Each structure stands twice: as structure tokens, then as C-alpha cells.
Amino acid sequence: MSISHRLAGAVASVVLLLPTGASAAPAALPPLDFLQLNAAIDGLPDGKVSGAVVQVRGTAGCWQGTGGIADRDTGAPVPQDARFRIGSMTKTFTAVVVLQLAAEGRISLDGTVQQYLPDLLPAGTAPITIRQMLTYTSGVNGAGIDSKDADWYLEHRYDHYPPGSQLDTAAPLAFAPGTKQRYGNADYIVAGLLVERVTGRSWADNVRHRIIAPLGLRATEVPEEERTIRGPHARGYEIRPDGTWEDITDADTSLQWSAASIISNAPDLDRFLVALFTGRLVRQPYLNEMFTVPDVPLADGSGRAVHAAGLTRIALGPLVVWGKSGDRPGYNNGMGATRDLARRLVYSVNPLNMGGTSQPAAAQRIIMATFAGAPATGG
């Protein structure tokens, strides 16, 4: 979850990190303002977003609501239990599986990708640790497919990609491992390959067996051959240059695979957050990896690293929220919470234009109304 997106959904906030071992008292939460939350999604569809679903939970107040339409043809409203393509929030699930394997002694976070996947990278590639892979500091390159270009997406959305084909392993590393952070899917595609090699089971089966089934996440699905969203959901649309609305809901998810392919809904993701933050899914000291941001610069020079293993540190004024954003064409989503879980947010909005680096204004209003108590205004 973020106030503004980098490419592939990274948080753009520049965050000042505490030195190792330092601590600070949590900032006071503003009162939950139901009027601001309602205003954040009022007036949809608005020409930029067709619909939204929001759920706020925690000891500091609860609220839920929907806005806009789920289906342009029928005018049906967005259901509160709408399922959506969660995009890069999938990375949090994948990080959990890898950290569980570390807790079981089946991998070492200080071990290398070359150790576990000896046939993946060219000989002579600098050693990359599993921890560096989880924190986007490996330098491994993706295949460079712009899957959020509307013309490309409409032509190729049913293409199928075998696991690993999303990587450009022949290219030199973008930087020396552990020296910079660059957000993207490549590291978590490698993570999926790691999970399969170590366990002998598919990445999808691991997610189902280790997370979905134990938590009873009945609306959460790891699609493999399935191209549709089953159950209640809002359709995703793209407004074409001639003004027509193209339904872009259905797609093959193999390009995103272990980085961005899962389908879920707000109640399930809230349950997932609670189980994660309370140590039910990942035990200490491995859980700390998800709340430890490496002290390195962002590769694009815009500031310091903000991503930990599967989660992102988000500074909203004096308040710190930990969470993850994710988007796929037709769906822009986020989940996040204060570390004590006193306030938790899951949302999904349906943007009418894919691509670009900006988060929909409706999503920004939702986040600010939830955590910062800011006026729910803006286009």
C-alpha cells in the first residue's frame, strides 16, 4: 500500500529509518472518521475509477463500504466481499513461505541463490543471498515485458509463461548484490523457483498448504489454468482512446506467477494480516525480517530503501504503517496496518486506465482517511 506508486507498485515515500536496535513510541492514531471514509469513495464511477471496496478493522475503530459499479452492463454495485486480483500483494504470501522454510531449517537466509538454484544464473555471477532476494537487493533482472501497456496487454493477456521465463538471467546484474534496492517482480519469481526446488512441490501448492488452508481463506485462490475471477467480484475495465470500455477482467496469470497472481478479498486479507503480524504464520526471529528494511539507497537515486521481506514501511506523517500494495490491469489494491494492529486497512479500487506510476486518487483518499485523518479530497 502506498500514497504514490513507482513502477510495479513500489512505494514512493522517502522514509527515514531508525538505526538498528533503536525504537520509538508509536504515534497516536487519529480518530476514525466515518464521514471522510465515505467521502473517499463517494461519487464513483468518476471517469477514472469504476468501483471500490474498503474494509477498516482494529481496536481503534471499524468501518467498511463500497462505491461505484461492479458491472457496467448491469449497473450492479460492488459487493463488500468482492474478490480481486491482488497483484504484488502476492509477494507477501511468497515471502511467508520462504521464511517458513527458513524457520524449518530447510534453507538459510544467508545461503545463496546459486547454492539452491545452481542452474539459474551464469557462472561467475556474484553470490546473491536469499535475504537479498527477499528485499529486492539482488540486482537480478526481469524479462522487461511492460505488461501494463494497454495495447500489449489486450494482445497478450492470455499468453502462458513457464516459471522462470519471466527472468533475464543472461543479463549482467543491475548492481552488486546488497548495495541497492530496486523493486520489481524478478526477485519474487526467483523466490517461487526456490520454493519449488526446496520442497519438491509447486509454489501454488505451498501457498495453499501453508497459508490458505490453515487460515481458512475461502475467498483466496492461486490461479493456475483459471483465467476468470470466481465468486463475487467487480469487473475490471480499460477506457480505450475512442472512449469505449474494454472488459479486461479475464487473464492468464502466469507472467506474474509467484510475484503477483493471487486472487483474494478484503476479509481474507485482513485475516492474513492479523495472522502474519501476530506470528502465527512466521515465528521469530524470522518474522523480524518482514519488518527490517535494508540500509541501502534506492537504485533510482530517489531516497533510501523502504521495502523489507514482503512488506513495505510506509511513513504517513508521524505514523508508520507496514503493508503492501499491488495492482493488475483493472485492479489497484493495498493492505496495511500499524504494527500493533490497532488499525488495519484493506482496499481495492478499479482504475479505468492501466499503467503509469500514479496511484488512483480514490486510493490515496482511502489511505489518508484511514491512517492520517486527512480530508478525503482530490481528483
User: Residues 341, 273: contact at Cβ < 8 Å?
Assistant: yes
Determine the 3-state secondary structure of 164 from DSSP. Answer: coil
Q: Is 50 a catalytic residue?
A: no
Phi and psi angles of residue 299, each rounded to the nearest 5 degrees, phi first: -65, -25
Does an H or E element contain 85, and which?
strand 83-85
User: Residues 8, 184: contact at Cβ < 8 Å?
Assistant: yes
Separation of alpha carbons 277 and 99, rounded Å: 14
Separation of alpha carbons 347 and 49, rounded Å: 13
Region of 75 on the Ramachandran plot (φ > 0 left; ψ -120 to 50 alpha; else beta): left
User: Cell numbers at residue 241, please?
Assistant: 482512446
Distances (CA, A) of 193 to 105, 130, 256, 266, 278: 18, 12, 13, 28, 27
With CA atoms as reference, report the closest residue to 282 among 133, 113, 97, 74.
97
Burial (CB < 10 A; 0-12, 13-18, 19+), residue 221, is buried
With CA atoms as reference, report the closest residue to 137 among 91, 175, 166.
175
Give 4-7 contacts, CB < 8 A, sequence gap 24+.
Answer: 4/357, 4/358, 4/359, 4/364, 5/325, 5/327, 5/357, 5/358, 5/359, 6/183, 6/300, 6/357, 7/183, 7/184, 7/357
Q: Which of 2, 50, 88, 258 is catalytic?
A: 88
Q: Looking only at Cα atoms, what is the longest distance across the chain?
A: 59
The label of the residue with cell 526477485 reads: 187
Q: Which residues are catalytic?
A: 88
